[in-house]
């Protein structure tokens, strides 16, 4: 994914051409908005303000309305992901097995106390909704690789690997859900077991 | 355009060549849950082994059979022998099995899990008489594990699209809706509204075009039955919707699938493309002149879009906020046109009703809820699984027999049915429940979309209700004040109790919150989101009291470490401070 050059609020001629090409297959109506935003996110990694404005213009809605619609959904990102994405399951089966404690432990390990991405842009920590692999609880994804029955030792190992940025995780999944931009819900420092 | 008989004959021939070939078959289960468990590495290992030896072995894929606890699962058929299931596969075990079973020509009874059918085979127990299988009635799941879900020929050869063909050629739209009404098919997504009646609303609507929509936004955490259908037998849903389109006169269709199910999205898209290529869908379905254009619409991450009108808003490119009814979707749904929304399971039940008739459908289940329902069981269980049983069977049959009960040393404390909006019941009440909506309603919980999470003594009920309250509050669309603020207040109060600042007035305060959310919120999300708190207070009042008065958490989850964590003051502060607070 090419990084956005310069100010994300200003559309360069090149990006404009790219975005117009992404818009072109879709009819100019509001119901095309999300499909176009997905295409933009697929191309650039996230939806930057100027791109949203262009997409809104194409779909004949105001930029504020388009932003309002986009911000309702958790899969649209307004910031780029880190180099590695670690996602923790949010389902009840993982919850009762202490996934929040593992997430907290991981955040401590990589020193990410708030926000979703480390300042150096190496790791993004998010959550994903349960998709029914509950026999593996508690489990998480490191990039595309599922880590079933995760323990604190696993977390230490992953944190070590990602912090050192060596040993790139293998991509073998079927295309995991892309990470959401929702900030982690609760700090949960007050709740060590859950 | 070939006619349907030719189409099926070709498919049967192709299918027979795969199944009856005189060579060993290795079938690897490839559902989302199995891929997460490592099925792809097992598949690749087999691929390498076969390539290395140039062995005459057929390597195929299928979907999850419901035996999630044993995944990755494979099935091996030796020429002339039965199908044998091997669970818990790893690449190393794949090598072992390849060496002994494929090359050695004998099954390994010590590694094998089950053999297909009801006869034991060389010391391997039969699947049909096993605890897991016995008592199940697989109608929707009939093809699961038996066909390659990505191959339309397998579906056609096993009786697929026959119901659609029959409906198009032999039935009138009103015959279909009447048949569904007589069969008593109800919505499986939780509302239990009769599907035939709903289809009639759309059939009689005058405005065109009409839309048939499938709600596959299975947001309920802990339920994955819809995913199983879309991954295991995608054409079944396509066929159900195609019949629906004919009965309702809908020219366009959407399958709204949540983005968390990338494999289900891919398989549904492939199923639709394949069906179009065969002339089953499109401008001229099976040469009869009926037009149906179906497409997959994937969600963008919102629990609320499982609500039918929010889902329509989402398709139209807006925030997923539920609409005020009326007008109902059958009058003005998506794009202002008449629309019908049903759950995946509801549509998927239609083909077999067309083929087998109403009496067959009514032969299982209860008078009010005929038929079968799929359930997913997770949590503190020996066997996390997906099963299909008739309505009306005791809940404990699922938990104790099929799922094998709780792990050794754990006690059954509570059951959480129906996702975040479903509530919680204690073990004593759960033991009395039968699987149909009325007993669940009487217990104050919802049967919902079919997920059960079994909880043991290590789970704190306050912590759990805070988890669900937080989930619901976060997913609120924020239109109604009660839903927007009420959920966060519940979370705050529970947090305060958990950290040692509980007050006697908190419990009545939570009750007031529940009441105002239930009465004053517009959609089911707001109405049902306090249900977790309400039911835990109803069934586990003593646990709340222990937390408030004695600072004791039975499960050892809560820390009671300081009371200074309140961030928002409740609107009406609890009047007095008593006890140690």
**One-letter-per-residue 3-state SS of B360-386:** HHHCCECCCCECEEEEEEEECCCCCEE
Asked whether residue B440 carries a pLDDT value surpassing 50, the answer given is: yes
CB B84 within 8 A of CB B112: yes
Q: What is the mean pLDDT of chain B?
A: 92
Closest alpha carbon within chain B to A89: B221
Identity of the residue in B37, B221, B315 whose CB atom sits nearest the CB atom of A129 = B221
How many other CB atoms sit within 10 Å of the CB of residue B179?
A: 20
pLDDT at A169: 42
- Which residues 26-65 of A have a C-beta within 8 angstroms of B? 29-34, 38, 59, 61
Residue B85 dihedral angles phi and psi, to the nearest 5° = -95, 135
Q: Which CA distances in Å does B67 have to A135, B135, B144, B527?
A: 10, 15, 11, 35
How many other CB atoms sit within 10 Å of the CB of residue B571?
A: 11
Span B284-290, average pLDDT: 94
Closest alpha carbon within chain B to A30: B317
Does B263 contact A at CB distance below 8 Å? Answer: yes
Instruction: Tell me the three state secondary structure of residue B120.
Output: coil
Compute the distance between CA of residue B323 and CA of residue B510 in angstroms, rounded to an integer.
Answer: 28
Closest alpha carbon within chain B to A38: B300
Beta-sheet strand order (sheet of B74-77): B58-62, B25-29, B74-77, B83-86, B112-115
Span B197-221, average pLDDT: 93
% chain B with pLDDT above 70? 96
pLDDT in tens, B345-384: 999 999 999 999 999 999 999 999 999 999 999 999 999 9
Is the pLDDT higher at B219 or at B51?
Answer: B51
Name the pLDDT band for B500 (thresholds 50, 70, 90). Answer: confident
Identity of the residue in A91, A130, A190 whose CB atom sits nearest the CB atom of B499 = A190
Asked whether residue A176 carries a pLDDT value surpassing 60, the answer given is: no
Name all contacts of B78-83 with Cβ < 8 Å and 24+ positions apart.
B78/B24, B78/B102, B78/B105, B78/B107, B79/B22, B79/B23, B79/B24, B81/B107, B81/B121, B82/B115, B82/B116, B82/B117, B82/B119, B82/B121, B83/B27, B83/B115, B83/B116, B83/B117
Asked whether residue A190 carries a pLDDT value surpassing 70, the answer given is: no
B144-B146-B148 Cα angle (round to 5): 90
pLDDT in tens, B501-538: 889 999 999 999 999 999 999 999 999 999 999 999 99
Is the pLDDT higher at B539 or at A116?
Answer: B539
Query: Which of the 8 DSSP states describes residue B421?
Result: T
pTM of the model: 0.91
Name the pLDDT band for B221 (thresholds 50, 70, 90). Answer: confident
A30/B317 CB distance under 8 A? yes
3-state helix/strand/coil string of B495-507: HHHHCCCCCCCHH
Q: Chain A: nearest CA to B179, how far in angstroms?
A: 34
CB A27 within 8 A of CB A38: no
Span B156-177, average pLDDT: 95
Compute the distance between CA of residue B7 and CA of residue B519 in angstroms, rounded to an integer.
Answer: 55
pLDDT at A18: 95
pLDDT at B320: 93
Instruction: Tell me the three state secondary structure of residue B302.
Output: coil
Q: Which CA distances in Å does B180 have to A66, B11, B190, B294?
A: 41, 29, 18, 22
pLDDT at B563: 52
pLDDT at A170: 37
A132/B33 CB distance under 8 A? yes
Q: Chain B: nearest CA to A8, how far in angstroms?
A: 23
pLDDT at B371: 94
Asked whether residue B575 carries a pLDDT value surpassing 80, the answer given is: no
What's the token pair of residue B142? Answer: 């009939």
What letters, b where the CB count within 10 A reaches 16 and e where it falls short, cover B61-84? bbbbbbbbbbbbbbbbbbeeebbb
What's the token pair of residue A24? Answer: 């072109």
Chain A with chain B: Cβ pairs closer than 8 A? 163
Residues in Cβ contact with B82 at an 8 Å cutoff, skipping those fewer than 6 apart: B115, B116, B117, B119, B121
């Amino acid at each position: 994914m090419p990084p956005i050059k310069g100010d994300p609020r200003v559309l360069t001629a090149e990006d404009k051409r790219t975005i117009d090409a992404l818009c072109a297959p879709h009819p100019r109506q509001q119901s095309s908005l999300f499909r176009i935003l997905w295409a933009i996110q697929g191309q650039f990694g996230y939806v930057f303000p100027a791109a949203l404005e262009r997409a809104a213009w194409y779909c004949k809605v105001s930029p504020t309305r388009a932003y309002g619609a986009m911000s309702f959904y958790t899969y649209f990102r307004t910031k780029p992901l880190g180099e590695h994405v670690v996602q923790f399951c949010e389902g009840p089966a993982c919850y009762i097995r202490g996934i929040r404690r593992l997430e907290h432990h991981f955040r401590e390990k990589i020193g990410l106390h708030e926000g979703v991405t480390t300042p150096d842009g190496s790791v993004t920590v998010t959550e994903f909704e349960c998709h029914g692999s509950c026999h593996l609880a508690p489990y998480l994804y490191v990039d595309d690789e599922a880590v079933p029955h995760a323990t604190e030792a696993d977390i230490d190992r992953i944190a070590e690997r990602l912090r050192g940025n060596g040993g790139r995780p293998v991509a073998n999944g079927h295309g995991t859900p892309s990470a959401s931009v929702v900030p982690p819900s609760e700090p949960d420092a007050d709740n060590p077991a859950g | 355009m070939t006619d349907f008989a030719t189409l099926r004959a070709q498919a049967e021939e192709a299918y027979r060549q795969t199944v009856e070939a005189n060579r060993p078959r290795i079938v690897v289960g490839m559902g989302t849950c199995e891929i997460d468990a490592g099925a792809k590495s097992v598949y690749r290992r087999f691929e390498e082994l076969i390539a290395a030896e140039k062995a005459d072995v057929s390597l195929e894929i299928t979907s999850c059979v419901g035996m999630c606890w044993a995944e990755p699962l494979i099935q091996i058929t030796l020429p002339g022998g039965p199908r044998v299931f091997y669970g818990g596969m790893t690449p190393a075990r794949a090598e072992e099995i390849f060496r002994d079973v494929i090359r050695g020509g004998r099954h390994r009874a010590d590694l094998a899990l089950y053999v297909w059918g009801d006869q034991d085979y060389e010391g391997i127990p039969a699947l049909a008489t096993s605890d897991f299988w016995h008592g199940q009635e697989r109608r929707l799941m009939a093809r699961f594990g038996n066909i390659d879900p990505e191959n339309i020929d397998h579906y056609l050869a096993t009786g697929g699209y026959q119901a659609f063909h029959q409906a198009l050629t032999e039935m009138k739209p009103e015959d279909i809706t009447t048949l569904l009404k007589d069969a008593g098919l109800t919505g499986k997504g939780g509302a239990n509204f009769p599907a035939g009646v709903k289809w009639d609303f759309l059939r009689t609507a005058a405005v065109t075009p009409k839309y048939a929509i499938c709600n596959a936004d299975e947001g309920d955490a802990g339920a994955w039955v819809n995913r199983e259908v879309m991954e295991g037998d995608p054409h079944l849903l396509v066929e159900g919707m195609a019949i629906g389109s004919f009965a309702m006169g809908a020219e366009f269709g959407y399958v709204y699938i949540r983005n968390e199910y990338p494999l289900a999205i891919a398989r549904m898209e492939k199923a639709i493309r394949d069906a179009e290529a065969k002339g089953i869908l499109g401008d001229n379905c099976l040469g009869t002149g009926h037009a149906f254009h179906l497409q997959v619409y994937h969600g963008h991450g919102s629990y609320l879009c499982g609500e039918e009108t929010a889902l329509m808003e989402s398709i139209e490119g807006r925030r997923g906020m539920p609409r005020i009814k009326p007008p109902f979707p059958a009058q003005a749904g998506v794009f202002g046109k008449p629309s019908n929304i049903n759950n995946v399971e509801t549509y998927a039940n239609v083909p077999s009703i067309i083929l087998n008739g109403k009496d067959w459908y009514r032969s299982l289940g209860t008078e009010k809820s005929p038929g079968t329902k799929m359930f997913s069981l997770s949590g503190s269980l020996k066997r996390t699984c997906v099963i299909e049983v008739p309505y009306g069977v005791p809940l404990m049959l699922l938990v104790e027999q099929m799922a094998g009960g709780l792990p050794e040393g754990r006690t059954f404390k509570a059951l959480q049915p129906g996702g975040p909006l479903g509530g919680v019941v204690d073990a004593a009440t759960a033991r009395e429940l039968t699987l149909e909506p009325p007993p669940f309603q009487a217990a104050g919980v919802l049967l919902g979309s079919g997920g059960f999470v079994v909880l043991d003594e290590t789970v704190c009920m306050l912590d759990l209700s805070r988890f669900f309250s937080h989930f619901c509050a976060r997913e609120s669309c924020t239109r109604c004040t009660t839903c927007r603020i009420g959920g966060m207040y519940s979370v705050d109060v529970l947090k305060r109790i958990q950290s040692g600042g509980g007050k006697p007035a908190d419990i009545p305060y939570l009750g007031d919150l529940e009441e105002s959310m239930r009465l004053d919120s517009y959609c089911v999300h707001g109405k049902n989101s306090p249900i977790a708190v309400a039911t835990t207070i109803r069934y586990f009042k003593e646990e709340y009291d222990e937390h408030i008065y004695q600072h004791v958490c039975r499960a050892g989850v809560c820390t009671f470490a300081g009371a200074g964590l309140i961030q928002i003051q409740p609107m009406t502060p609890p009047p007095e401070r008593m006890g140690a607070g």
